[in-house]
Chains A and B, each alone.
Chain A
Amino acid sequence: MSGPQAAARVAKLRTGIPGIDFLTHGGLPEGRTCVVSGTAGSGKTILALHFLAAGIAEGQPGVFVTFEEPAEDLRRNVGSFGWDLAAWERGGRLAIIDATPDPATEEALAVGDYDLGGLVSRIAHAAGRVGARRIALDSLGSLFAQFTDHGIVRREIRRILSSLRPLGLTGLATSERVAEYGAVGRFGVEEFVADGVIILRNTLTEMRRRRTVEVLKMRGSAHAKGEHPFIILDGVGVEVIPLSALRLDPPASDVRRPTGIPELDAMCGGGFFENSIVIVSGATGTGKTLLATYFLGALPDEGPALMVAYEEGREQITRNARNWGLDLGPLLTSGQLRIECRYPEAAGLEDHLVHIKQLVDAHTPSRLVIDSLSALERIASDKSFREFAIDLTAFLKQHSVLTLLTTTTPTLTGGASLTNTHISTIADGIILLRHVELYGELQRGLAVLKMRGSDVDRRIREIIVSGEGLRIGEPIRNVAGVLSGNLTYILDDQSGFTRMAPRGPAEGGDGHPS
Chain B
Amino acid sequence: MRNYVFRLFVTGGSARSEDALKNLRRICEEHVAGQYDLSVIDVLEHPQQAEALKILATPTLIKDGPPPPRRLIGDLSAYMEVVDGLDLQPKAPNTE
Give the B-binding residues of A (Cβ under 8 A): 97-99, 102, 105-122, 124-126, 146-147
Contact = CB atoms under 8 A, between A and B. Distances in A.
B50 A99 contact: no
Contacts of B94: none
A113 B9 CA distance: 14
B89 interface: no
B47 A121 contact: yes
Given A111-B72, A119-B55, 11 more contacts: A97-B51, A102-B54, A105-B69, A109-B72, A110-B72, A111-B85, A112-B77, A114-B16, A122-B55, A125-B47, A125-B48
Contact of B54 (A99, A109, A126): A99
A311 B16 CA distance: 70
User: Which has the most chain B C-beta neighbours within 10 Å: A99, A105, A115, A116?
Assistant: A115
B66 to A, nearest CB: 14
A45 to B, nearest CB: 19
A111 B76 contact: yes
B54 to A, nearest CB: 5
Q: Pick from B50, B69, B85 the residue with the most CB of A within 10 Å.
A: B50
B60 A111 contact: no
Interface in B65-79: 68-78
Contacts of A114: 16, 57-60, 73-75
Contacts of B23: 112
Nearest to A119: B56
A119 B47 CA distance: 9
B42 to A, nearest CB: 9
B5 interface: no
Interface centre among A98, A109, A119 (most CB of B within 10 A): A109
Contacts of A99: 54, 56
B57 A118 contact: yes
A110 B77 CA distance: 10
A124 B11 CA distance: 13
26 contacts: A98-B54, A99-B56, A106-B68, A107-B71, A108-B60, A109-B71, A110-B73, A111-B72, A111-B73, A112-B74, A112-B78, A114-B59, A116-B56, A116-B57, A117-B10, A117-B11, A117-B58, A118-B11, A118-B50, A118-B57, A118-B60, A119-B56, A122-B43, A122-B55, A125-B51, A147-B57
A124 B47 contact: yes
Contact of A112 (B20, B56, B68, B70): B20
B41 to A, nearest CB: 10
B11 A115 contact: yes
B44 interface: yes
B35 to A, nearest CB: 21
